[in-house]
Amino acid sequence: MKLLIADKLEDQALQALRALPGLEVVAQPGISKDALPDAMAGVGILIVRGKQVSAAVFERADALQLVVRAGAGVNTIDVKAASARGVFVANCPGKNAIAVAELAIGLMLALDRRLPDAVASLRAGRWEKGEYGKADGLHGKALGVAGLGAIGREVLLRGRALGLRGHVHSRSLTAEGAAELGVTRHDSLRSLAAASDILSLHLPMTAATRGAVNAEVLGALPARAMLINTARAEVVDHAALAELVRTRGLRVGLDVLPGEPEAASASYSHELLALPGVIATPHVGASTAQAQLAIADEAVRIVASFLKAGEVPNCVNVAVTPPAHCQLVTRHLDRVGVLASLLGVIKQHGINVGEMQNRQFEGGAAATAIIRLGSAPPAACIDELRRVPDVLHIEVVML
């Protein structure tokens, strides 16, 4: 099987992939997103980091079975197009959590101590201790965390070490969970913002979160509060943010920005970057050697599992419970053609199979197949199934 790596991957991971039997590894880290569809002929597995995988990739790929995003999110991949073509999409969640959390905390400290400005002043030959000796300090402040995934939890942990008081808004957080974590739970982003001296965003990019940190939420932040975004630029209304920086002195630390260039080296500008109290980094949250190696190792694990066991860890586009009305449980002798005969009868009656599992018993004489069906089989179908040679028993369970 041919595997195409369309972004830079660590040498250790490349060696591990090339060591997998039956795999032809082709590395083209410099390929552009526009050229990617033309490179898909014969490719069975595609690994990307930040490169966009459009619908055209899936339309042109004649052999593609698996796309691995060597990172946490899959917003750069047309998952709907992948699902329509029966292609697995997997990611590497949580592997960069510590790296992103470290940057989020670093941005908080840099804003409080005005580190970028202080360094620039000293490099320019000015000793302005009186100016840059003014800082609030973080101890005792309220840290609001929006989104309690792996990164949000790591930020809370590090914030606690700095003496910050935790406040959280997350759909998955219950009152009991908040008590266990020792944080205050909020039912809305606006409520969280109003309670936060520092609001750190760790929301995934979805239709529900796009623009969720809007003028109302930002306006609820106390004057001179900090907003930290190391998640996705699209969750924030940047025009409203710029206005509140000007009028209320909000301090802002960003690692994600609107309209980021695709190239690793390019020119970029945005009105926020010219405002006092705003610092930013060029989307480098996950860019530590530790994080990149962990992500690469996870990508290798996913590929190896797919090749050896047919299983796709961290798959994001397979239904957890496929739509089904009933379940057909079959005990049968483990002989050639039994399952094919069963499926042939089901097909003749126009019934769709949603999911199937066949397991052998010790000794290899018998097996049991569990087949989830889109509609209940009529009595005639069940009778035919029971007459299939080597079938021991048929049971229909309505779901």
Q: Is the pLDDT of residue 264 over 80?
A: no
- Residue 121 domain-assigned? yes
- Residue 316 domain-assigned? no
Exposure string for 303-334, b = 16+ CB within 10 A, e = fewer: bbebbeeeebbbebbeeeeeebebbbebebeb
The 10s digit of each residue's pLDDT in 46-96 is 999 989 999 999 999 999 999 999 988 798 999 999 999 999 999 999 899
Shared-domain flag, residues 170 and 78: no
Which of 165, 232, 238, 372 is catalytic? The answer is 232
Is 283 among the residues known to form the active site? yes
The 10s digit of each residue's pLDDT in 169-223 is 999 999 999 999 999 999 999 999 999 999 999 998 889 999 999 999 999 999 9
**CA–CA separation, 309 and 358 (whole Å):** 14
**CA–CA separation, 6 and 71 (whole Å):** 13
Residue 323 has what pLDDT?
65
Shared-domain flag, residues 364 and 393: yes
- Residue 318 domain-assigned? no
- Residue 125 domain-assigned? yes
Average pLDDT in the chain: 94
Average pLDDT on 142-156 reads: 96
Average pLDDT on 350-359 reads: 91
- Residue 319 domain-assigned? no
Residue 258 has what pLDDT?
95
**CA–CA separation, 118 and 126 (whole Å):** 9
User: Looking at the 3D structure of the chain, how many domains does it have?
Assistant: 3
**CA–CA separation, 44 and 25 (whole Å):** 10
Average pLDDT on 123-136 reads: 96
Shared-domain flag, residues 242 and 301: no
Shared-domain flag, residues 158 and 232: yes
Shared-domain flag, residues 128 and 277: yes
Is 154 among the residues known to form the active site? no
Shared-domain flag, residues 120 and 42: no
Residue 20 has what pLDDT?
95
For residue 102, name the pLDDT band (cuts at 50, 70, 90): very high
Shared-domain flag, residues 61 and 104: no
Residue 153 has what pLDDT?
96
The pLDDT > 70 percentage for the chain reads: 99
Residue 75 has what pLDDT?
86
Alpha-carbon torsion (101, 106, 112, 116), positive or negative? negative
Which of 113, 160, 243, 260 is catalytic? The answer is 260
Shared-domain flag, residues 78 and 119: no
Shared-domain flag, residues 82 and 190: no
Q: Are strands 198-201 and 142-146 parallel, antiparallel or unpaired?
A: parallel
Of the candidates 70, 91, 193, 106, which has an alpha carbon nearest to the alpha carbon of residue 149?
91
* pTM of the predicted protein model: 0.76
CATH code, 107: 3.40.50.720
Residue 288 has what pLDDT?
94
**CA–CA separation, 385 and 177 (whole Å):** 49
- Residue 221 domain-assigned? yes
Shared-domain flag, residues 261 and 303: no
Shared-domain flag, residues 90 and 103: no
- Residue 187 domain-assigned? yes
- Residue 321 domain-assigned? no
The 10s digit of each residue's pLDDT in 236-252 is 999 999 999 999 999 99
**CA–CA separation, 172 and 160 (whole Å):** 21
Query: How many CB atoms are located within 10 Å of the residue 123 CB?
Result: 8
Is 325 among the residues known to form the active site? no
Cα torsion for 235, 240, 241, 246, to the nearest 10°? 180
Which of 160, 283, 301, 331 is catalytic? The answer is 283
Average pLDDT on 308-319 reads: 91
CATH code, 337: 3.30.70.260
Shared-domain flag, residues 197 and 242: yes
For 246, the domain range is 97-285
Q: Is 168 helix (H, G, I), strand (E, B) or coil?
A: strand
